[in-house]
Amino acid sequence: MSRTTTDLLYLVTIVTFILALRFLSSPKRARQGNLLGAAGMALAIGVTLAHEGLEGYLWMVVAMAIGAVVGVVGARSVKMTAMPQMVALFNGVGGGAVALIALAEFHNLAPLPEGLDGEDSVAILLSALIGSISFSGSLIAFGKLQELLSGRPIVYTGQQFVNGAVLLTAIVLGGAIVAGADRDVYVIALIAAALVFGVLFVLPIGGADMPVVISLLNACTGLAASAAGFLLHNNVLIVAGALVGASGTLLTLLMGRAMNRSIGNVLFGAFGSVQAGAGPAAGEDGRTVRSTTAEDLAIMLGYARKVVFVPGYGLAVAQAQHDVRALAELLEAKGIQVLYGIHPVAGRMPGHMNVLLAEANVPYDQLKEMDEINPELPQTDVVVILGANDVVNPAARSDPGSPIYGMPIIDVDRAASVVVVKRSLNPGFAGIDNPLFYDPKTSMLFADAKKALEDVAAAVKRL
């Protein structure tokens, strides 16, 4: 295949990636966006395999077959609650692949008489450093989300000094490569230092901030892939990596803004390390909660005019997305308007609640982002909170001493009545008490979300 044909087909691939991102911005065309992006990637792989002088096809086919099986089985079998873990894991694999490319290219090019030129050595430095950090950091994020590690920040004295020393070691090793070091041990040591830094970097970040971390690490993987594109002189890899890096960076900044926190605070603030008023001690100051039953909630819903459901991670854990959709259909049959309030950082990854409800075929026009749903709440008769906590905590508005003060929330307390479906009074990821639970207009339905919604639906049918 000629160079001109290769570049033309790569250009087609780049266009498909850009269009795929454009389609993914709308829920109605997200499926087409995924398919278009996959088709573009298939074309890029085919064009790359058609390069003249390429060897080792058998090993490549075996590796692709293994990867395809793992990817398909993993994607089809993963539960919605584990989707963030899968995203973190797949992102980490991408970073690790880029680091291995840097190691292989250094091994092949450094011993040559002409050695490495400045562009290649810098590309190897960036690919190995950023890719390795993304790989190990993503594995730690996976471990926290999968509860293999504590979701609370893991901190110790002198942590920032240790992190800085490890990162400085990696940079010095990278500088040696740029200066002309030609032994594999330098790249191996650089990758090892970067892997250690990735672990140390993510350990002190709490579970509440994992969506931001995953987004940031995704951006890092994109930047590393783009650097590898310069190393391999592959235009499609350069552009695709840049797209991932830019979109991941933008998403990271938007999520930080949604929590009213700087990215520095997210990464270095050890948010959620202190638990205040958690568990049974929450009501020791004399406050009480008002419990309700599925039958009482059914009556409230059955005679309402407008109902808003606010989903959170508890809904995902209970796998109750189909049950809330079934209940909503019963209410709509009675002429009741039903909407869903979606907070930007609800769940454990960007768009977690949107994906969850889309799986249950909830109409897109009923999904309202925080800025859209808040003006609706003063005219709402009943808000039902399904496993959400920090994103509806009014302390974010009223308590300057709260760690989440200033974070935009869904203003559920401005509705006529609030019902919180939750298994206990335990705090959310932020580790703080929620005064909403003690509001006179709030009732607590202590139950698993799936069981609660099934019971409420059955009671609504009897009305």
Q: What is the pLDDT of residues 79-129, one digit of tens each?
A: 767 778 888 899 999 999 999 999 999 998 888 777 778 888 999 999 999
Only one residue has tokens 């039958």, namely 295
Work out the pLDDT band at 211, boundaries 50, 70, 90.
confident
Residue 278 has pLDDT above 70, yes or no: no
Work out the pLDDT band at 183, boundaries 50, 70, 90.
confident
Contact 98, 221 (CB under 8 A): yes
Residue 274 has pLDDT above 60, yes or no: no
117 & 162 share domain: yes
309 & 393 share domain: yes
Residue 223 has pLDDT above 70, yes or no: yes
Q: How large is the C-alpha radius of gyration of the chain? A: 25
Neighbours of 415 (CB within 10 A): 24
254 & 285 share domain: no
DSSP string, 80-114: GGGHHHHHHHHHHHHHHHHHHHHHHHHHHHTTSTT
Q: What is the pLDDT of residue 431?
A: 66
Which residue in 249, 220, 232 sits closest to 124, CA to CA? 232
Contact 83, 352 (CB under 8 A): yes
Which of 34, 50, 77 terminates a domain? The answer is 77
State the CATH number of the domain containing residue 368: 3.40.50.1220
Q: What 3-state class would DSSP assign to 385? A: strand
Range of the domain at 173: 81-268
DSSP 310: E
Question: What end-to-end distance do the CA atoms of the chain give, in Å?
Answer: 71
Q: What is the pLDDT of residue 158?
A: 87
User: Does residue 360 sit within a domain?
Assistant: yes
404 & 317 share domain: yes
Contact 425, 408 (CB under 8 A): no
391 & 341 share domain: yes
Q: What is the pLDDT of residue 289?
A: 85
Which residue in 362, 409, 412 sits closest to 383, CA to CA? 412
Q: Write the single-letter amino acid at 51.
A: H
Which residue in 78, 84, 249, 218 sits closest to 151, CA to CA? 84
Which of 47, 77, 107 terminates a domain? The answer is 77
Q: What is the pLDDT of residue 271?
A: 53
What does the alpha-carbon distance between residue 339 and residue 152 come to, in Å, rounded to a whole number?
Answer: 33
116 & 63 share domain: no
The average pLDDT across 259-288 equals 57
Residue 459 has pLDDT above 70, yes or no: yes
Q: How many residues does the chain have?
A: 463
Residue 198 has pLDDT above 90, yes or no: yes
Q: What is the pLDDT of residue 208?
A: 67
Q: What is the pLDDT of residues 397-437, one digit of tens each?
A: 888 888 778 888 999 999 999 999 998 887 766 667 889 99
Work out the pLDDT band at 159, boundaries 50, 70, 90.
confident
Distances (CA, A) of 285 to 78, 281, 291, 397, 438: 43, 9, 18, 21, 11
User: Does residue 251 sit within a domain?
Assistant: yes
Q: What is the pLDDT of residues 353-412, one digit of tens each?
A: 888 888 888 998 899 999 999 999 999 999 999 988 888 999 888 888 887 788 889 999
Q: What is the pLDDT of residue 119?
A: 86
What does the alpha-carbon distance between residue 139 and residue 131 come to, in Å, rounded to a whole number?
Answer: 12
169 & 316 share domain: no
Q: Which positions ≥6 away from 367 have C-beta within 8 Å?
A: 27, 340, 342, 354, 357
User: Does residue 273 sit within a domain?
Assistant: no
Token code pair at residue 148 = 């293999």
User: Does residue 356 sit within a domain?
Assistant: yes
Q: What is the pLDDT of residue 298?
A: 95
12 & 118 share domain: no
What does the alpha-carbon distance between residue 128 and residue 170 come to, in Å, rounded to a whole number?
Answer: 10
Give the global pTM.
0.80
% of the chain at pLDDT higher than 70: 93
Q: Which positions ≥6 away from 300 have C-beta within 8 Å?
A: 381, 382, 417, 419
314 & 395 share domain: yes
The average pLDDT across 275-294 equals 61
How many structural domains is the chain composed of? 3
Angle, vertex CA 416, rays to CA 411 and CA 422, nearest 5: 65
428 & 353 share domain: yes
413 a catalytic residue? no
What does the alpha-carbon distance between residue 78 and residue 361 come to, in Å, rounded to a whole number?
Answer: 19
User: Does residue 283 sit within a domain?
Assistant: yes
User: Does residue 361 sit within a domain?
Assistant: yes
Token code pair at residue 452 = 């609660």
Of 145 and 311, the structure prediction assigns the larger pLDDT to 311
Q: What is the pLDDT of residue 275?
A: 44
61 & 106 share domain: no
Q: Which of 323, 390, 413, 455 is catalytic?
A: 390
User: Does residue 226 sit within a domain?
Assistant: yes
159 & 193 share domain: yes
Which residue in 410, 412, 418, 422 sits closest to 450, CA to CA? 422
What does the alpha-carbon distance between residue 291 and residue 41 come to, in Å, rounded to a whole number?
Answer: 53
Which of 49, 77, 105 terminates a domain? The answer is 77
DSSP 117: -
User: Does residue 274 sit within a domain?
Assistant: no
Residue 313 has pLDDT above 60, yes or no: yes
